[in-house]
A = this chain, B = another copy of it.
Amino acid sequence: MSDEITVVKCGGGLSAHRETICQDLAAVAAGGPVVLVHGGAAQLDELAAQLGVPQRRLRTPGGSSSRYTDPATLDVLLMTMAGRVKPALVASLSRHGARPMGLTGMDAGLVTARRAGAHKAVVDGRTRMIRDDHSGRIHAVDPAPLHLLLDAGLLPVLSPPALGTEGEPVNVDADRIAAAVAGVLAERRPVRLVLLTSAPGVLRDPEDPGSLLPRLTVSAGSLGEADARGGMTAKLQAARAALDSGVSQVVVADGRITHPVREALAGAGTRIEKAAPFESGNV
């Protein structure tokens, strides 16, 4: 058994590959501690459509865009993450011999968050004051319950939401949960982070699967030479945060292959590295 903890993030877009991912995770978990963090944006949209809950985006003055997590969407998010995506992962991991334990960030106050305060954003083309958005930023991750479960041979299966300061659910980004979890676990033990995606890794040109970057150097002011758009930007920011917290290895890799985690650890995908201080010209 290795002492090194492997944290794997798996997005909802990879649900078609759940069985192979879980089989691979169970194999890795047989050799050392594993934490799985999952999202489920595609499944959230699907359930919201089934229930007739409109999904809207918020665009902030800062230019970023995020899901408008109003109370109805928060309900759909909980049902999706805790009631659909997670049980399917727990069942699959169990069938492959692992001992998974499904958690949201709320459980045991594992992931705490500060909910967004009243802020201005553009919704459906109009600027509005937003007061009922249940999304926010990670405040802290408590590593104690995770170490407890890992030491008992369990495989935590973690997802949003986090627990807000008023004891309410708060939607936070799953990539950031993965990075924050890897970061706090790294305070005590060596940790590697694998971010599974629906591409071969980070591409120089998103349209060209052949433009895979085997290595990518990020710094405080730059996400390197990747043409990072949309979801990949968030992933690379999370990767950088994990490296800053002492995570020893961060890989963005393909979740659609037969042994996605073991291949990523063996060199597939894109290894993210921190610029050495003297290299970082554009901080």
Contact = CB atoms under 8 A, between A and B. Distances in A.
Interface in A92-108: 92, 94-95, 99-104, 106-108
Nearest to A87: B78
A82 B86 CA distance: 9
Interface residues of A, number: 40
A61 to B, nearest CB: 31
Given A148-B148, A167-B95, A79 B83 contact: yes
A102 B101 contact: no
A78 to B, nearest CB: 5
A227 interface: no
B167 A91 contact: yes
A187 interface: no
Nearest to A81: B83
Interface string A55-96: 000000000000000000001001111111011001110110
B91 A168 contact: yes
A117 interface: no
Contacts of A87: 78, 82, 104, 106, 161, 169
Contacts of A169: 87, 91
A154 interface: yes
Contacts of A91: 106, 163, 167-169
Contact of A106 (B82, B94, B109, B145): B94
A95 B145 contact: no
A220 B101 CA distance: 36
B90 A79 contact: no
A1 interface: no
Interface string A125-158: 0000000000000000000110011001010000
A251 to B, nearest CB: 28
7 contacts: A79-B83, A82-B82, A82-B83, A87-B106, A102-B106, A102-B107, A148-B148
Given A79-B79, A87-B169, 16 more contacts: A47-B79, A78-B84, A81-B83, A82-B82, A82-B83, A83-B83, A90-B104, A90-B106, A91-B169, A94-B106, A99-B108, A100-B107, A101-B103, A101-B145, A144-B152, A148-B149
